[in-house]
Structure 1
């Protein structure tokens, strides 16, 4: 089962990020004294750094807008996802390693949280592709990984994604039990 990028949702996300970028540019111009003649170097530095970071994100989003590969794949073996950096870096997450699936509210987004066992298998893959800052805190207190999936760019919302994953997992486990 494959899920692709919803171009309308992606365009809305790009529009929102662009509006935030414009606000950061205005803050930067204000902080360098363009309007008042007074400079605020810390504010200028922070707004410039955040603006550059957001500009890179917008460019990456524009480049991936016409991506034809699926963003999320549910297969017999497990879940392959490119909806978040950590899920993409983890590669195929096997069903047998997924201990729990739940919904988690983070900011304005609701995410599907996968509690994954065998961190010794996934962490080297994730650390190889991402910086140490991006992977800090993804291991839970029990030593399991918490990998989040977002539906923000898919043709569904988080509740639908959660239900779809749960139903597919149930179907796979019934199929596996029938074979035994």
Structure 2
């Protein structure tokens, strides 16, 4: 098991994600138009602000995915010494993680996606790798461990297969 495994972007899954994001953005745009009074002439400030802010975030994320769609580098790399991934912002920021630092692996359902959650014990080794914002997202203060999640939503395999692959390499 010394070979390196690389997972690349699955064009079909990425296209489906972009279609869902486009549909949600269209609904948010309609809500924004309704909120500013385009249909009934009544300005609804809370609806306008909320739908406008969420629409802006969705559009920025969608354009980031569109800009990175030409990137042919692997989204997840796994070998006998460690792994790295770019499927979530926190995983991308942390970079390469060694198997010796991993204490637990789990499948976690977040929203409509199932993620592989990896718990890391050696926080001092990874502390300088990320911004304070991403550190707060990954660091669990109760048990002093880092939780980093990897998504299979854009790669060739599903979350359960990715979890089993991580588990096999970790156990070795």
1:20-39 correspondence to structure 2 within 5 Å: 20-39=24-43
Which residue of 115, 119, 132 corresponds with 2:123?
A: 119
Q: Displacement of 1:124 after TM fit?
A: 1.9
- Specify every segment of 5 or more residues in structure 2 that has no aligned partner in the other structure, as ranges: none
Distance, in Å, in 1 between the alignment partners of 2:107 and 2:147 is 12
Structure-1-length-normalised TM-score: 0.88
RMSD (Å) for aligned C-alpha atoms? 1.2
1:149 alignment counterpart? 150
1:177 alignment counterpart? none
Distance, in Å, in 1 between the alignment partners of 2:31 and 2:76 is 37
2:72 alignment counterpart? 68
- Specify every segment of 5 or more residues in structure 1 that has no aligned partner in the other structure, as ranges: 174-180
Moved more, 116-125 or 1-10: 116-125
Q: Displacement of 1:137 after TM fit?
A: 4.3
Which residue of 77, 80, 99 corresponds with 2:81?
A: 77
Distance, in Å, in 2 between the alignment partners of 1:135 and 1:41 is 34
2:16 alignment counterpart? 12
Q: Could you list the structure 1 runs, at least 4 aligned residues long, displaced by more than 4 angstroms after superposition.
A: none
2:165 alignment counterpart? 164
Partner secondary structure for residue 136 of structure 1: helix
Q: Displacement of 1:45 after TM fit?
A: 1.3
